[in-house]
């Protein structure tokens, strides 16, 4: 891995994983990388749960019932903390989602660096999540992030070109 562009290109959504367990050192490493993420006013309004036991994974399957997800070996849940996040005084806009998104992408890029795959999942049922997991009022789930050793093949990336994303203001 030579450049950031290599890493960014290598990061992809992995939806099929080997059964073998991820070493604790790798989990510690990617969490350290995520902890370094910037956040509004440095409030760091993120929490993360690591779910590897069958009971927890079954609860997650009730919130996101896609076929591929049924066999993931492990999953992080990245949560926002509304009690900690910065709200912009002009309009009250809560920045928790932005902060959690940056944190999550740090997790994903660090996982890629150490040979792991991840997939952002936001299309889960938050009400079912609340039924399954007993969360304090300030916390809410933002991303489910299955992770493990990839067992599928990289596909060509479809991305807008620089010309397509640049606009004049």
Shortest separation between residue 154's beta carbon and ligand FMN, angstroms: 8
Interaction of residue 123 with ligand FMN, rule CB under 6 A: yes
Interaction of residue 12 with ligand FMN, rule CB under 6 A: yes
Q: Using alpha carbons only, give the angle 84, 24, 66 rounded to the nearest 5 degrees.
A: 70
Shortest separation between residue 60's beta carbon and ligand FMN, angstroms: 12
Determine the 3-state secondary structure of 13 from DSSP: strand
| DSSP codes of every residue in 72-109 | -S-EEEEEEETTTS-B-TTT--B-HHHHHHHHHHHHHH
Interaction of residue 121 with ligand FMN, rule CB under 6 A: yes
Shortest separation between residue 98's beta carbon and ligand FMN, angstroms: 11
Shortest separation between residue 94's beta carbon and ligand FMN, angstroms: 17
Q: Among residues 119, 139, 141, 146, which is the contact residue for ligand FMN, using CB under 6 A?
A: 119
Interaction of residue 90 with ligand FMN, rule CB under 6 A: no
CA distance 10 to 26: 18
Angle of helix 24-35 relative to helix 96-113, nearest 10 degrees, comes to 140
Shortest separation between residue 108's beta carbon and ligand FMN, angstroms: 8
How many residues sit in the footprint of ligand FMN (CB under 6 A)? Answer: 8
Q: Is the dihedral of CA 46, 52, 53, 54 positive or negative?
A: positive
Query: Which residue's entry shows tokens 């709200």?
Result: 87
Interaction of residue 59 with ligand FMN, rule CB under 6 A: no
From the list 21-29, 30-38, 117-125, 130-138, the region that binds ligand FMN by CB under 6 A is 117-125
Interaction of residue 61 with ligand FMN, rule CB under 6 A: no
CA distance 151 to 148: 9
Q: Which residues make up the interface to ligand FMN (CB under 6 A)? A: 12-13, 119-123, 157
């Amino acid at each position: 891995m030579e450049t950031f562009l290599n890493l960014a290109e290598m990061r992809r959504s992995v939806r099929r994983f080997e059964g073998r367990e991820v070493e604790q050192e790798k989990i510690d490493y990617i969490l350290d990388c995520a902890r370094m993420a910037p956040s509004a006013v440095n409030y760091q309004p993120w929490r993360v749960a690591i779910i590897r036991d069958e009971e927890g994974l079954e609860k997650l399957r009730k919130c996101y019932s896609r076929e591929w997800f049924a066999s993931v070996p492990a999953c992080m849940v990245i949560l926002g903390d509304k009690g900690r996040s910065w709200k912009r005084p002009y309009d009250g806009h809560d920045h928790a989602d932005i902060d959690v998104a940056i944190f999550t992408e740090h997790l994903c890029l660090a996982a890629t660096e150490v040979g792991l795959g991840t997939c952002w999942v936001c299309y889960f049922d938050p009400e079912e999540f609340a039924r399954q997991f007993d969360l304090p009022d300030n916390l809410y789930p933002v991303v489910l992030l299955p992770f493990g050793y990839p067992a599928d093949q990289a596909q060509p990336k479809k991305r807008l070109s620089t010309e397509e994303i640049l606009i004049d203001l």
